[in-house]
Amino acid sequence: MQKTVIVLAGPTASGKTALAIRMAQLFDTAIISADSRQCYRELSIGTAKPSPEELQTVPHYFIDSHSIKEEVNAGLFERLALQYTQDIFAQREVAVMCGGTGLYIKAFTEGIDDMPLIPPGIREAISKQYEKEGLPWLQQMLQQQDPDFYAIAETQNPQRLMRALEVLEATGRSITAFRSANRTPRDFRIIKIAITLPKELLHQQIHTRVDRMMEAGLVAEVKSVLPYRSHNALQTVGYQEVFDYLDEKNSLDQAQDLIKTHTRQYAKRQLTWFRKDKDFQWFDARDQEAILQYLQKEMC
């Protein structure tokens, strides 16, 4: 049998974690997380990290592997994930990768390009303008000047938006152009599976998950990482809204509602990203048996 990585992707709250564990159990293997925030030890509730029980069921890589003090990006993930894959392949024929961070999955399956150097003057000018005008200015600029990137961007993450604007101003090209040049061939087979749910059901699961996060102590978790609030990993849904609540910019109920709204928007962008990749085989998340049967047939 050819060494194979099964990639399981899809929007947040669609049920990837439970399905990935079933896949790993079926093939007696381990899971590599492709989530840009679950790697941080300090972030658990707001990242919907697998539970301790789930983590004990099968081995997981890239969960709790880094501190919030460290910078993690797609390039680092590519290098680490390839090493994790070789570690798993030393004992197993199959590895499972599971996550919703499209850029990380793309980096692993295709390779990632070196980003252009940005002149300091451009970076400083954009940073000053952001401090003056705020997040709406960044969103508007990119929506107008780089709509392709904006369609799949983390629009609540000012660091990512500033980075895209820097690249645009420095090179005259979209940041997406530096992510889609040459594919790096891999010496193993890749099977791509994507799952989703009908929109109303997905939204319902998102709302339920956010309610559970709040009950589980999301506010306390956000307070515990206040010293690192400028870190890129915290410029995201679930943390920014609670920071605003702690800054008395909104009420706790408003923060909870905003997390739901922004998570729905993020799920939509995830679907946009994954649907552009024609290698994904799509399934209804509720039909786990059909997915497992498909995989068993593919592996024969």
65 pLDDT tier (thresholds 50, 70, 90)? very high
Kindly report, residue by residue over 251-270, the tens digit of the pLDDT. 999 999 999 999 999 999 99
107 pLDDT tier (thresholds 50, 70, 90)? very high
202 pLDDT tier (thresholds 50, 70, 90)? very high
Backbone φ and ψ for 297, nearest 5 degrees, come out as -65, -40
Q: What pLDDT is recorded for position 160?
A: 85
**The pTM is what?**
0.86
**Residue 13 in marked binding region:** yes
Cα 72 from Cα 289, distance rounded (Å): 35
Q: What percent of the chain has pLDDT over 70?
A: 99
**Residue 16 in marked binding region:** yes
Q: What pLDDT is recorded for position 209?
A: 98
Q: What pLDDT is recorded for position 154?
A: 81
DSSP H helical segments within the chain, as ranges?
A: 16-26, 52-57, 74-89, 102-110, 120-133, 135-145, 147-150, 158-171, 199-216, 218-224, 240-246, 252-275, 288-299
Cα 138 from Cα 267, distance rounded (Å): 21
Question: Do the beta carbons of residue 272 and residue 280 sit within 8 Å?
Answer: no
Q: What is the mean pLDDT of residues 56-66?
A: 98
Looking at the predicted structure, is the pLDDT value of residue 153 above 90?
A: no
Long-range pairs of 257-261 with CB within 8 A, sequence gap ≥ 24: 259/210, 259/213, 260/206, 260/207, 260/210
Tokens of 77: 């993930």
- 137, HSE (Cβ side, Cα atoms, 13 Å): 10
Looking at the predicted structure, is the pLDDT value of residue 24 above 80?
A: yes
Least trusted range by pLDDT, from 160-174, 176-190, 264-278: 176-190
180 pLDDT tier (thresholds 50, 70, 90)? low
Coil, strand or helix at 2: coil
Domains of the chain are 4-113+182-299 (3.40.50.300), 120-179 (1.10.20.140)
Cα 242 from Cα 261, distance rounded (Å): 14
**Residue 12 in marked binding region:** yes
**Residue 17 in marked binding region:** yes
**Residue 67 in marked binding region:** no
Cα 181 from Cα 177, distance rounded (Å): 7
Other beta carbons within 10 angstroms of residue 45's beta carbon come to 18
Q: What pLDDT is recorded for position 149?
A: 87
**Residue 198 in marked binding region:** no
Coil, strand or helix at 36: coil
Tokens of 195: 């799952």
